[in-house]
Amino acid sequence: MRFLLTLVLLLSLTACTDDGDWWSSPPDGTRWVGYDGAVVAVPDWWTTGETTCGAPVEDTVYFDSGAVVDCADPDYDATVDEVSSLAVLHHDGGIDEDDLDGSCQEWFRGVCRRMFAVPGSDAVFAVTIDEEGDGDFEEIRDSARALPDRVTTVPLAIGGAGGWTPTWGAEPTVVRDLRRAIEAAGLEVEVQVLDPDPNGDVADLAPGSLLEVQPALGAPVESGSTVKVTVMGTSGP
């Protein structure tokens, strides 16, 4: 079974590598996200990096280092069984091959997580689907494609294979690490400073906090492209 799944993915990846700029036009209602030369299509309403202590708290995409987290929030996993998610892992040999056949495995109590690897890449994708309409595991798995040599992805994590995905509101020190990660991936960084309305919802964020990354973290881009990082300015005089 494992061999057949790998063969299907390999044939799909091979058939799709000469398809021009397919990576810039995801299927309707989806967006591409990936790591280490491979991408999959997820619902375009899924956010990026919305986790608490490594557990998703919204329908989201994030990098999972697999590290055990010492969490100060005793209820950090309270919503895991209520959301759908795509976790991207680095396959360093520590994952049992039998766990990569897409079968349902209990992750948190009552939460079914299905994983698959992508031939020729160190990316492993782990999918949880809460309810029908949130997304479909088979569609996500079957959408896997290898990127052309001239295309890379905006880093989904800071800190390398043991890292994590920053999200909206991340502190200035995290933004600095994110900029370094983007540059290390061979991409340019353009920083845009947004001065907020002092009476707005984000007025309490520290100057330099993360507001947006475009293209999004994990998105495919041409090598050498520019990634715009928008950060909080100051509303003061």
What's the pLDDT score for residue 19?
A: 62
Quote the pLDDT of residue 203. Answer: 62
Query: Is residue 1 predicted with pLDDT exceeding 90?
Result: no
Instruction: Mark whether 115 and 226 lie in a shared domain.
Output: no
**Within this chain, do residues 124 and 165 fall inside the same structural domain, yes or no?**
no
- Residue 201 shares a structural domain with residue 129: no
**Do 119 and 30 fall into the same domain?**
yes
Predicted TM-score (pTM) of the model is 0.86
Indicate whether 198 belongs to any domain.
Answer: yes
152, containing H or E segment = strand 151-153
Residue 154 lies in a domain: no
Residue 193 falls inside a structural domain: yes
- What is the count of structural domains for the chain? 2
Do 144 and 206 share a domain, yes or no? no
* CATH classification of the domain holding 210: 3.30.10.20
> 33 and 89 share a domain?
yes
84 and 42 in a common domain: yes
Structural domain span for residue 59 = 2-149
DSSP symbols for 101-131: B---EESSTT-EEEEEE-TTSSEEEEEE--S
Residues 99 and 182 placed together within one structural domain of the fold: no
**pLDDT tens, position by position, 149-189:** 999 999 999 987 678 999 999 999 999 999 999 999 999 99
Examine residue 237 and state whether it is found in any structural domain, yes or no. no
At 7 the pLDDT is 44
Q: Are 48 and 61 in contact (CB under 8 A)?
A: yes
Please check whether residue 205 lies inside any domain of the structure. Answer: yes
Q: Report the DSSP beta bridge partners of residue 195.
A: none
Among the three residues 96, 124, 149, which one is the final residue of a domain in this structure? 149
Dist. CA 102–CA 96, nearest whole Å: 12
Long-range contacts of 158-166 (CB under 8 A, 24+ apart): 159/65, 161/65, 161/90, 161/92, 162/65, 162/67, 163/63, 163/65, 164/49, 164/51, 164/54, 164/62, 164/63, 164/65, 165/48, 165/49, 165/51, 165/61, 165/62, 165/63, 165/217, 166/49, 166/210, 166/217
Q: Are residues 105 and 171 in the same domain?
A: no
- Quick check: 73 pLDDT over 50? yes
Q: Does 209 lie in the same domain as 138?
A: no
If asked whether residues 136 and 167 sit together in one domain, one would say no
Query: Residues 33, 118: one domain?
Result: yes
Please identify, among 87, 118, 149, the residue that sits at the C-terminal boundary of a domain.
149
The one-letter amino acid code at 179 reads R
> pLDDT tens digits, residue range 77-129?
788 889 999 999 998 877 888 899 999 999 988 899 999 999 899 999 999 99
Query: Between residues 14 and 162, which one has the greater pLDDT?
Result: 162
Task: Tell me whether residue 155 is in a domain.
Answer: no
| Residue 6 forms part of a structural domain | yes
CA–CA separation, 95 vs 227, rounded Å? 32
Q: Which of 149, 180, 200 corresponds to the end of one domain?
A: 149
